[in-house]
Amino acid sequence: MTRFLAALAALVLAALPAAAAPGVAAASDLKFALDEIARSYARETGRAVRLAYGSSGNFRRQIAEGAPFELFLSADESYVLALARDGRLEDEGVLYAVGRLVLFAPEGSPVDPGRGMPGLAEQARAGRVAKLAIANPSHAPYGRAARQALEHAGAWGALEGRLVLGENVSQAAQFAASGNATAGIFAYSLTFTPAVSGKGRYALVPEAAHAPLRQRMALVKGAGEEARAFYRYLQSPAARGVFSRYGFSPPGP
Amino acid sequence: MDWIALTLSLELAAWTMLALLPVGIVLGRWLAWNRFAWKPVAEGVLALPLVLPPTVLGYYLLVSMGAGSPVGQWFQSTFGRTLVFSFEGLLVASVVFNLPFAIQPMQRAFESIPQDVRDAAACCGLTRWQTLARIELPLAWPGILSGMVMTFAHTLGEFGVVLMVGGSIPGETRTVAIAIYDSVQAFDNAAAGVMSAVLLGLSLVAMAVVYATGARRAGHRG
């Protein structure tokens, strides 16, 4: 019996470092970039983090309700600043990247991303866009930016009734890349995977077409040393290099 | 309060119920009175939606109804639009998802009709259709009703499958369950509160009907 208890204790102790890995809430546009950063972080430091991806609005809500995340990487700054005002975060955190939008069309789509948003507007008015996938503008920053870009191109009226809304930006990308939607407007960072880039053509949406996607991160109040270490690592040149390889622009001063 | 979403959910529930009424009667009756070697397998398959995560069903529906699938392509070429992100696609999903909710109460109801009653009906020279209409359905109706009500209520509460294959289109695929989710994420507690209360009320009425018909059936037997 004693031996059994000792074995059990050893098992629990062995499992502890994994259990202590801090929870990180990350916007879904970071999916591929942050996975890679977490891998190199684990390789270099031997430390682990638990990553959860979802829409930033969703995480804002969950953190406000006390969800056990220690670090929040939002796809825009308003959610982080709002949580900071509510006293949920240590401070207002830092900008870590600026996101970009792409217009994506799957194989066989009548939309030619090379002709940009005006081309999309034209096809929409001709009735050739059956479904356009974007993230839900009511709680996903990339959805809000996509809406602004559509309004900027004068295509919102023609396309409003044709939208399919992803629960987060990576579901919007999945809707479009699977060919189920005629086109999609989502995060540039999500095109850096063969699962998306191999399924169609895409082009960047001009930055002037929407409010900048200034992505901000901050530590949640009560965050532990492990979360702090990862937070510092995310601001290192190595992590910034990965962000820029996934199409994020560096944050301004 | 998103009335469009509530109306859409009620429509989806009503259509699902109508589609499953004949299916439930035929399959429930067949399962009640037939013995065959692979019956447990058939019953198990029909009960799968009770235990499968909605995401598993959502995944298979995405794959089998999507733009790349034969079914999706047939629908696209026939009706000129996609099956996923459409009301019809949700209806297909909803019918599959509700099979056990419709069939199981009906099967129990048919099982409770004594063999001698059916034999007597056959002896009196009633045809199969007359037996069904005059003997079996009148005896089995509480089970049929509770199967229908369960289906209706369960469709109103369906979330995971709709989230995966719906796309949250107002008036087409944004059901009230999705509308509640969206308004909670958008910090619109007032709307979420009202819609949740409406769903709670509807579900409560539905469950009361199910238990009322169950009590009636038990009273009959006693």
Same domain? A45 vs A143: no
Mean pLDDT (chain A) is: 90
In whole angstroms, give the CA distance from residue A125 to residue A122.
5
CA distance linking residue A153 with residue A87, whole number of Å: 38
Cα of A227 to nearest chain B Cα, Å:
25
Question: Is there a domain that residue A3 lies in?
Answer: no
CB environment B142-176: b (16+ within 10 A), e (fewer): bbbbbbbbbbbbbbbebeebbbbbbbbbeebbbbb
* One-letter amino acid of A54: G
Residue A170 domain-assigned (yes or no): yes
Pairing of strands A101-106, A200-204: antiparallel
User: What distance in Å separates the CA atoms of residue B107 and residue B147, rounded to the nearest whole number?
Assistant: 9
Instruction: Give the one of A58, A130, A166 whose C-beta lies nearest to B82's C-beta.
Output: A130
Q: Which of A29, A93, A82 is nearest to A55 (CA)?
A: A29
Q: Report the pLDDT value the prediction gives residue B67, as an integer from 0 to 100.
A: 79
A47 and A140 assigned to the same domain: no
CB atoms within 10 A of CB A199: 19
Dump pLDDT digits (tens) for B111-137: 999 888 888 887 888 888 888 888 899
- Conformation bin of residue B218: beta by default, left when phi > 0, alpha when psi is -120 to 50: alpha
How far is the alpha carbon of A181 from chain B, nearest alpha carbon, in Å?
Answer: 8
B187 pLDDT higher than 80: no
Task: Give yes or no: residues A104 and A204 share one domain.
Answer: yes
Task: Check whether residue A146 and residue A234 sit in a common domain.
Answer: no
Q: Which helix (H) or strand (E) holds A96?
A: strand A94-99
Report the domain count for chain B.
1
Same domain, A104 and A87: no
Verify that A151 and A219 share a domain, yes or no: no
- A107 and A121 in a single domain? The answer is yes
A107: domain CATH number is: 3.40.190.10
Closest Cβ–Cβ partner in A55, A106, A164 for B185: A55
Residue A7 lies in a domain: no
Q: Answer whether residue A11 is part of any domain.
A: no
Starting at the edge strand that comes first in sequence, how are the strands of the sheet with A71-73 ordered?
A50-54, A23-27, A71-73, A213-219, A94-99
pLDDT level of residue B172 (50, 70, 90 thresholds): confident
- Kindly state the average pLDDT of the residues B78-82: 84
Given this model, what pLDDT does residue A193 score? 86
> Residue B216: pLDDT above 70?
no
Closest CA to B144 of B106, B173, B180: B106
User: How far apart, in whole angstroms, are the C-alpha atoms of residue B37 and residue B27?
Assistant: 17
A111 and A170 in a common domain? yes
Where b means 16+ CB within 10 Å and e means fewer, A37-54 reads bbeebeeeeebbbbbebb
A98 vs A249: CA distance, rounded Å: 5
Q: What is the pLDDT of residues A174-214, one digit of tens each?
A: 999 999 999 999 999 999 988 899 999 999 999 999 999 99
In a domain, A253, yes or no: no
Searching chain B, which residue's CA lies closest to the CA of residue A135?
A: B167
Tell me: do A229 and A144 sit in the same domain.
no
Q: What's the rounded Cα separation, in Å, for the pair A61 and A28?
A: 15
Q: Are residues A114 and A84 in the same domain?
A: no
Q: Are B167 and A139 inside 8 Å of each other by CB?
A: no
Distances in whole angstroms, Cα of residue B22 to Cα of each of B19, B33, B47, B48, B91: 7, 17, 18, 20, 16
Q: Which domain holds residue A108?
A: 100-209
Q: Give dist(CA B164, CA B34) in Å, integer.
A: 37
User: Which residue, among A55, A65, A167, would best test binding to B if mutated, counting the most B CBs under 10 Å from its CB?
Assistant: A167
Q: What is the pLDDT of residue B222?
A: 39
Instruction: Identify whether A238 is part of a domain.
Output: yes
CA nearest neighbour of A147 among A191, A190, A189, A210:
A210
Which of A214, A220, A184, A213 shows the shortest CA–CA distance to A199?
A184
Please report, for the domain that includes residue B14, its CATH number.
1.10.3720.10
Q: Summarize pLDDT for A97-112 with one digit per residue, the tens.
A: 999 999 999 999 999 9
Structural domain span for residue B120: 3-221
Average pLDDT value for residue range B45-54: 93
Same-domain pairing of A130 and A140:
yes
Could you report the per-residue pLDDT of A132-169, keeping only the tens digit for each? 999 999 889 999 999 999 999 999 999 999 999 998 99
| A88: number of Cβ within 10 Å | 20
Among A10-19, A118-127, B213-222, the least confident range: A10-19
**pLDDT > 90 in chain A, percent:** 77
A4 in any annotated domain: no
Same domain, A167 and A118: yes
Average pLDDT value for chain B:
89
Number of separate domains in chain A: 2
The answer to whether residue A14 sits within a structural domain is: no
H/E stretch holding B21: helix B3-33
Q: Do B185 and A61 touch (CB under 8 A)?
A: yes
> CB–CB of A175 and B167 under 8 A?
yes
Cβ-contact A187, A145 below 8 angstroms: no
Could you tell me the pTM of the whole model?
0.80
